[in-house]
Amino acid sequence: MRVLEEVKRLALELLGGLPASLYADIEEALQTAVRDDDGRDAPQLLYQNQASLWVLRQHHAAHVMRFRQNVGQGFDEFRALRIRNRGELPLGLIDESQIDFHLAGQNLAESLGGRFQPVLDQLRNRLQVVTTVLGLPPIANPVGPQRLADAFVETFTDEQIPAALRALLFGHYERELGKVLGDFYAQVNALLARNGYGAADAQPANRPAPRPRPAPPQPATGEFGAPGSGYADGHGYAGGTGAGAPGQGGGWGGGAGYGGAATGGGYDAAGQVAPGAGAPGTGAQPAGGMQSGAGAQPGTGAGTDQASPTSAELGELRQMLHAWRDGRMAQSTPASPSADIGGARRELRVDEVVSVASLLQGEPSDVFARALAGSGRLASAIRDQINDGSRRLGLDPERTRFSSDEEDAIDLVALLFDSLFQSHHLQERARRLYARLVLPFVKVALTDQNLFVQPEHPARRLLDAITEACAGNKGETPQERELLDRAAAASQRVVAEYNEDLAIFETAHAELDALLQQQRRRIELQAERAAKATFGRERLARAREQADVVLARRLAAPPLSRGIAEFLSGSWRHHLVQVLLREGADSERYRDATALGDALVDADRLAAEGRGRDLAARLLALQPAIIACLGSSGLDHSAAEHGLAVLVKGLIYPHAPRDLHEVPPGPADDDDAERGLWVAGGTDTLRFDPAMADRMRQLEPGDWLQLTDIQGEGVDAKVAWVSPLTSRRLLVNRRGMRVLVASAEELASLHAAGRLQLGCEPTAFEQAMRQVRQQLDRAVGQH
C-alpha cells in the first residue's frame, strides 16, 4: 500500500497539472490555423473556438482538480477501495459529442500504448506481483494510457467543445503526455524494483507469500504477562522481544521485521495476523510515540533519539497536562470499575492502541460528533471507544490501562478539537466532518509528537485547511458549498486511506488547498470592497459635515422665509454634497454652488423689502442655476421647473414670517451606530491608556487582533485598511467581511475593557493550541 501511495504521488506530481498547461499552445494553434485558412467562415470559426477556449480557461481550476481525482480514482480501484460494478449502471442515450470524446480517448490510448509498449509490459508484470501480494484479482494499470485517456475524457465530459477545438485539445494532451510518460514510467518501474517487485513469476524480495485476508484475532484466554511479552497461551501477540533479519526496521513489538516475531513475521502460530503487528511492507512503527525525542515517521524505519528543537515546550505542556489530569481525577469518584485488580493491569503498548484506532477508524463517528457538541466530553468518548475496540480485539479493559503517553495524546487531541469549535464559527456539517478526523489524529499524536510542535506537519496543514474552508461557511453560495464538499472529501479520504503514512495528509491538503487559493482571492476582493465602501462612507460623511457648516452660516442670519430655508436645507444642501464628492471644495462648480445660496438669501431680503422688480430680475438670472441644483437631486427638467415655481411662490408675499433656522439632522451614519454598540461605554467619554492608543496607531494592514463582539464571542480580525481621511482602521474577519471600523482611541478603549487583544495566531491549529495552554494554565493555577 505504501508503494502504491508513492506511485500515486508521482502520478499527481508529474501529470496532475497537464490540463491547465494546454491552453496557451492551443490558442496559438487556433491563430495559426486561421491565418492559413482563406475561407469566409474562418473568422467566425475562430471566434467560436476562442469563446469555448475562454470558457475552458475560466474552469481550469475545476478541471485540474477533477483530472487529479480521476487519476487518483484509478489507484482506489486498483486497491479495491472503490471498484465499479458496470452491470449495475443504468443504461441510457448519450450525446453525439460524448461519443466523439470517447472515440478520441480510445485513439489517444492506442497511440500511447503502441509508443510505450515495452516499458508498459514491464510495468504490467510488476503490478501483477503487487495484486498477487494483496490477494486481489488482476486490475487495469492505474497509470496506463487507457486510464490516463479516460481521466482526461471524464474531466471534460460536461463541457460543450467544438470539434476543431476538441481535436486540438486531445492532440496537445497527447504531445504533453509523450514528453513526461517515458520518464514517469521509468521512475515507477525503478520504484517497484527497489521494493522487490520483479517479474510476474517471482515473489518480491523479503516479503511473505500471499495469504488470504486474515480474520479478526480470537480473544485470548490466558492471563496477560508483563508488558510486551505477549499472551501466555500463544494466541495473542507474536511476541515483543523477538528479532528479525537485521536492517528490516524495528517491529511494533520491539523486534524487527513485520511484527517482532522471529518465526511469524507478524503472524501467530495459527497463521493469523497478531494484533498490533505491522502489515507487510509498512515498515517500522515507533514504539515510544510521544515519549520519544523526535518521534518516528511511520513507514520509514525506527525512530531516532534526536530531540526536537521545541521538545522543551512540549515537555512543559505535558507537565501542565499531567497536573490538570491529576486535578480532574482527584475531583472524580475514587471507586471505578476500571480500577487495578491486585495490581495486575498492564499498560497498553502504542502499537496496540494504534491497531484498535485503525479498527475503529472507518466506523461511524456519531459518538464523537455528539461529544463535540458539548464541552470537555470528547476525551471520555475517545477512551470509551478505544476500550470498546480493545474488547473486540480480545484486550480486556479490566486488565489493561493507557500509558501516560497515550493519556497525553488522547487528552491533547480532545482539547485541540474542543478549542477549534470554541474559537471558530463551525456549523453542524463541520462538526460531523471533524468527528471523522478524531481517531486519525489520535493515531498521529501517538506515533509522532511533531504534530504539536512542527508548524509544517502534514496533519496540521490539513486541519488548518479544513478549518479555513469550514469556519463561517454556511454554504449559501455555490462556491461555499463546493468548498464544504471538498473539505468533506478530504476528511473521508484520510479516514479511508490513512494507515500510519503521513503522505495521505499531504495529498489531501494539496487537493483542498488548490480550491482554497480561489477562496483566498475572493476574501481579498471582499476586503477590498469593504475598504472601498468604508472610504466612500467616510467621504460622504466628510462632505456632509462641510455642507452643514456652509448651510449653518446661511441659516443663522439674516432671518429667512420658510420656503427659502427649506430649499437651502434640502435641495441646495444635497447639491453641495454632490459637488464636494465629485469635484472637491477647490472647484469652480463648488464656488458657483455657494454663490447660489448667497444669491437666494439676498433674493429673500429683496422680497422682504417689497422690491418686486429687482426680485424678478434676480430670479430670472438665477433660473438656470436653480434648475441645475434641483436636477442634481434627481429631478427631470419639468419637475425642476415645478420646484422653481414653488420657490417663487414663497417669495411673492413681502410680509411672510421670517426667522432664524437650525440645520436639520442628516441621515443616520451606520458607522456611528456600529461604534455605539461596540465601544465600551457606548457613546460616553472614552477611557483608554494614551500609550495603548499610540500602539494602536502603529497597526498596519495585515496585522491581526482578537476581538470579543457584543454577543461575547471571540472574533479574529485583521487590519485591512487605514483611512487617509480619519486614520480609522477597518477590521475584517477571516472571510473578508467587515467586523469594525474604529479609531485608535476606540480600539484602546476596547483593550481597556478586555475586549481586544493584540496579535493572533496565524493558523487555526496554533490558535487552538494557545487556547489549550491557557486552559491548562488556568486549571493548574486553580489546583
Asked if residue 9 is part of any domain, the answer here is yes
Asked if residue 230 is part of any domain, the answer here is no
Predicted pLDDT at 782 = 58
Q: Are residues 351 and 476 in the same domain?
A: yes
Q: Give the whole-angstrom CA distance, residue 558 versus residue 29.
A: 78
Predicted pLDDT at 31 = 74
pLDDT at 334 over 50: no
Side chain identity, residue 675:
R
Q: Are residues 627 and 704 in the same domain?
A: no
Report the range of poorest mean pLDDT among 64-68, 279-283, 498-502: 279-283
Report the range of poorest mean pLDDT among 449-463, 549-563, 762-776: 762-776
Asked if residue 550 is part of any domain, the answer here is no
The CB density around residue 163, as the number of other CB atoms within 10 Å, is: 11
Residue corresponding to grid cell 487605514: 722
Q: Give the whole-angstrom CA distance, residue 509 versus residue 434.
A: 15
Cell numbers standing for residue 248:
528490516
Structure-model confidence comparison of residues 374 and 568, the more confident one: 568
Q: Give the whole-angstrom CA distance, residue 596 versus residue 59.
A: 56
Point out the domain boundary residue: 659, 689, 718.
659
Q: Give the whole-angstrom CA distance, residue 449 versus residue 454.
A: 9
Specify the DSSP class assigned to residue 236.
S
Number of domains in the chain: 4
Q: Are residues 323 and 472 in the same domain?
A: yes
SS3 label, residue 536: helix
Q: Are residues 634 and 488 in the same domain?
A: no
Q: Give the whole-angstrom CA distance, residue 763 versus residue 197.
A: 42
Asked if residue 282 is part of any domain, the answer here is no
Cell numbers standing for residue 84:
465499479
Point out the domain boundary residue: 194, 224, 246.
194
Q: Are residues 617 and 470 in the same domain?
A: no
Predicted pLDDT at 591 = 93
Q: Give the whole-angstrom CA distance, residue 197 versus residue 132.
A: 11
Side chain identity, residue 428:
E
Q: Give the whole-angstrom CA distance, residue 46 versus residue 56.
A: 15
Strand (E) positions, 709-766? 714-722, 729-732, 738-742, 756-758
Q: Are residues 674 and 655 in the same domain?
A: no
Asked if residue 423 is part of any domain, the answer here is yes
Q: Give the whole-angstrom CA distance, residue 190 versus residue 123.
A: 10
Report residue 35's pLDDT band, with 50, 70 and 90 as the boundaries.
low
SS3 label, residue 722: strand
pLDDT at 88 over 60: no
Q: What is the pLDDT of residues 154-196, one digit of tens each?
A: 888 777 788 778 788 888 888 888 888 888 888 888 888 888 8
Structure-model confidence comparison of residues 557 and 520, the more confident one: 520
Q: Quick one: what percent of the chain has pLDDT higher than 90? A: 16
Q: Which domain holds residue 754?
A: 670-762
Asked if residue 636 is part of any domain, the answer here is yes
Q: Give the whole-angstrom CA distance, residue 267 versus residue 277.
A: 8
Asked if residue 130 is part of any domain, the answer here is yes
Report the range of poorest mean pLDDT among 46-50, 84-88, 583-587, 599-603: 84-88
Q: Are residues 76 and 137 in the same domain?
A: yes
Q: Are residues 471 and 506 in the same domain?
A: yes
pLDDT, averaged across the chain: 75
What's the distance, Cα to Cα, between the start and end of the chain in Å? 48
Helices 163-194 and 145-155 pack at an angle, to 10 degrees, of 140
Q: Are residues 596 and 729 in the same domain?
A: no
Q: Are residues 501 and 591 in the same domain?
A: no
Predicted pLDDT at 721 = 92
Give every CB contact of residue 228 below 8 A, 6+ residues apart in sequence: 240, 241, 253, 254, 349
pLDDT at 778 over 90: no
Closest by CA to 399, choosing from 339, 329, 334, 336, is 339
Q: Are residues 372 and 475 in the same domain?
A: yes
Report the range of poorest mean pLDDT among 135-144, 298-307, 359-368, 662-671: 298-307
Asked if residue 302 is part of any domain, the answer here is no
Cell numbers standing for residue 420:
477549534
State the CATH number of the domain containing residue 716. Answer: 2.30.30.140
Q: Are residues 9 and 55 in the same domain?
A: yes
Point out the domain boundary residue: 171, 194, 217.
194
Q: Is the peptide bond before 558 cis (omega within 30 degrees of 0)?
A: yes
Q: Are 629 and 572 in contact (CB under 8 A)?
A: yes
